[in-house]
Amino acid sequence: MSVWFKLALLSAWSRRLAVGLVVASLGLACALVLTVQQLRTDSRQSFSQAVSGVDLIVGPRGSATEILLYSVFQLGRPTANMSAKVLPELRALPLVRWAVPIQLGDSYQGFPVWGTEAEFFQRFQVHGQALGFKEGQAFDSNSLYQVVLGAEVARRLNHKLGDALVVTHGSGQALDKSHDDAPFTLVGILQPTGGSVDRAVLVSVSSYEALHHGWGVGEFQGLRLGSFSGAGQKPSFKDLQPREYTAVLVGLHSRAQVFSARRAIEQLPGAPLTAVLPGVALDDLWRSLSLVEDTLLIIGFAVATTGMLSVVAVMLVALGARRRELSILRALGASPSAVFGLLYLEAIVLGLAGLLLGFALQQAGLFLASAWLRESFGLSVSLGLPSAQGLMMLAGLLLGVFVAAFIPALRAYRLSLADGLNPAQLH
């Protein structure tokens, strides 16, 4: 067997340019299939763990998936807010352990501004890990105009503690106006998490409310709002209590009571509410995206099939030029079955080389793109051996290689039988 294996390698080496192109095409196709599957698996895992510290997300009556996307992942814009009176009612429920509000609507150089409470930094988790500070500390809930930046915001904009930030009303488009009468002071920078909070600008709900009271006039009940800072004068917060929230993040005493808590929340008097289970909403999201995922996988397998067919095509074309070689092998005593085995082994070697190259390209590509994916999309990719689904795909591709290798081998077998020891084939 070792002799035939060496012979197969030497034969492939004699045609190394064509063989190299075939292996490269098959490797790229394999890398595409494995990358699509890996990104699908990792994206689901990253999204599901991005809200690992939250049991329920409460928002105004509407789509659960929409509430999840704009309140946690900052995808899309909220269509409505809910009364701030909801927050004490939620905290009064026996099943609720904690509740932290979220206010959205403003931005800073393209990054969303989150209005929240200092408790957010203690409760919110990403990938099961609590938030930590790289520099500084959380904003003081009893002071105005202090801001905490996510790691990605601070890195991209090169901000340092003590910098002054001016946020923009709205999403930061050309017609949106800046809150330049109320600059914020940077007091903290979060550790990188790989989640949406890396791209967030966090301020207190009192500061968020102060931005919009009397905005455009510059005064609120005789107080010049822009004159207050975290270390400066402290106005009364009685008149700066929020009137509306975009969403409320809720933690329960027991996750086993999540459905009971959801019913209790949605039955609260007043404005109708929607209590979102993050895991259920994400499942609904993946089901809606399953068609796109399946389409990408089909395209990947189509490309892989094309790569395998290219192996077959190259070997079939090469058979015409190798008939003299095969005739010599017959003259040396090789049987038609031995010729069949030689060609079959060559095709398998090429296929396995393509699969190994594809796996190596996939790992290298994910390694090089991991930082960009983490920073841009909050997606943490895993390196190393493929997942169970990835191994099944590799097995399917390997089976395809074995099937495709049979075609040129069978053709060589038939040519060997027809040619035999025909002297014409030796010239």
pLDDT of residue 379: 67
User: How far is the C-alpha of 135 from the C-alpha of 141, rounded, in Å?
Assistant: 18
Ordered alpha helix ranges (H), 50-142: 64-72, 86-92, 120-123
Please, which residues have CB within 8 angstroms of residue 136's CB and are 6 or more apart in sequence? 148, 161, 186, 187, 188, 189
| Tokens standing for residue 67 | 């509430």
pLDDT at position 425, please?
45
Query: Does residue 379 share a domain with residue 249?
Result: no
pLDDT at res. 5: 66
Q: 296 and 210, same structural domain? A: no
Does one domain contain both 111 and 26?
no
Q: How many domains does one find in the chain?
A: 2
The residue range of the domain holding 389 is: 2-47+290-426
Regarding whether 137 and 40 lie in a shared domain, the answer is no
* Low-confidence residues in the chain, pLDDT < 70: 1-5, 7-12, 14-15, 46-51, 170-181, 212-240, 288-289, 293, 307, 311, 315, 318-334, 374-380, 415-427
Residue where a domain terminates, one of 284, 309, 326: 284
Q: Which residues contact 420 (CB under 8 A, 6 or more apart)?
A: 327, 330
pLDDT at 282: 74
Give the Cβ contact number of residue 399 at 10 Å.
10
Q: Are residues 227 and 149 in the same domain?
A: yes
Q: What are phi and psi of 96, to 5 degrees?
A: -85, 125
CA distance 336 to 341: 9
Which of 224, 250, 284 is the C-terminal boundary of a domain?
A: 284
Per-residue confidence (pLDDT) for residue 235, from 0 to 100: 46
DSSP structure string for 321-390: HTHHHHHHHHHTT--HHHHHHHHHHHHHHHHHHHHHHHHHHHHHHHHHHHHHHHHHH-PPPP-SS--HHH
Is the same domain home to 31 and 87? Answer: no
Instruction: Check: CB of residue 235 under 8 Å from CB of residue 206.
Output: no
At 225 the pLDDT is 39
- Evaluated on CA atoms 220, 224, 229, 232, the torsion sign reads negative
Q: Based on the domain organization, do 199 and 241 belong to the same domain?
A: yes
| Boundary-marking domain end, from 261, 284, 307 | 284
- What's the CA gap between 330 and 324, in Å, rounded? 10
Same-domain pairing of 40 and 55: no
Both 300 and 264 in a single domain?
no
**315 phi, psi to nearest 5 deg:** -70, -35
Residues 6+ positions from 387 with CB-CB distance below 8 Å: 37, 38, 41
Residues 365 and 294 in one domain: yes
Q: Do 225 and 335 fall into the same domain?
A: no
Is residue 314 located within the same domain as residue 378? yes
Q: How many CB atoms lie within 10 A of CB 225?
A: 24
